[in-house]
Amino acid sequence: MQGGGFKDYSVEVTDGMVVLDCIHKIQAEQAPDLACRWNCKAGKCGSCSAEINGKPALMCMTRMETLPPGEPVMVEPMQTFPIIRDLVTDVSWNYEVKKKIKPFKPRKPDNADGTWTVFQEDVERSQEFRKCIECFLCQDVCHVLRDHHKHDEFIGPRFLVFTAALEMNPLDTENRLADLKDRDGIGYCNITKCCTKVCPEHITITDNAIIPLKERVVDEFYDPLTMLFRVFRARS
């Protein structure tokens, strides 16, 4: 969508207010048609993603006292997705990407009653990734999508984390490495770690999800010794 612009509003700020409170106050007192998506106001629904003073963040988790005092606060919609209106963007591309990722495919049950036996140390890695609230701030900040518009070739950090949670699950038997290399474009990630910096759930996206996946792709497609070893092991 083309057009749009910045508008200045003045709001009286009191102790403990977050940016979302200010937006609500503007809606209540000055601009009832100001569009903004929100839900839980507790940093758990991932709805109120925006850019505050140029940095992607949740409006409900950004306290006014953490921003430079006496200066205007710039609130923008996420830049990586099409704008619907004001602070609301169309993030439906993300849902389409998610549908393409091969789903969880568990091995046969370990026990006669149809259950599996797993150990905590084996699921800890996946559990970190399951903290994701799908706020899509990592997608917004990723320059591959934001600046280079590789939406057709790169799935973005959110879905690399999603894939890592599946790939590292000890019960899962599916192989997604070929998809990661070709369709999902994992090689486009050049490890800026911006996704890790903006994650409100503090998921170590780059070090714990993306780089381990890159290494698994190297095992499968780029490391001649590992590939040779795999051939010999298959023959024996």
Q: Residues 90, 215, 228, 231: which binds another protein (CB under 8 A)?
A: 215
CB of 44 to another protein, least distance (A): 24
Neighbours of 48 (CB within 10 A): 24
Mask for 179-198, x = binds another protein (CB under 8 A): ------xxxxxxxxxx--xx
The number of residues that bind another protein (CB under 8 A) is 67
Count, residues in the chain: 236
Mask for 69-108, x = binds another protein (CB under 8 A): --x--x-xx-xxxxx-------------------------
Between 115 and 190, whose beta carbon lies closer to another protein?
A: 190
d(CA 113, CA 118): 15
Q: Residues 5, 32, 69, 114: which binds another protein (CB under 8 A)?
A: 5
Please name the amino acid found at residue 148: H
In angstroms, what is the C-alpha Rg of the chain? 21
d(CA 98, CA 176): 13
Residue 21: strand, helix, or coil:
helix
223 binds another protein (CB under 8 A): yes
Residues 104-163 that bind another protein (CB under 8 A): 119, 121-122, 141, 143-144, 146-150, 153
* HEC per residue, 144-163: HHHCCCCCCCCCHHHHHHHH
d(CA 138, CA 183): 20
Q: Residues 54, 69, 70, 114: which binds another protein (CB under 8 A)?
A: 54
Between 41 and 193, whose beta carbon lies closer to another protein?
A: 193
d(CA 147, CA 4): 20
d(CA 34, CA 27): 6
Residues of this chain that bind another protein (CB under 8 A) = 1-9, 30, 51, 53-56, 68, 71, 74, 76-77, 79-83, 119, 121-122, 141, 143-144, 146-150, 153, 167-170, 172, 185-194, 197-198, 204, 206-207, 211-212, 214-219, 222-223
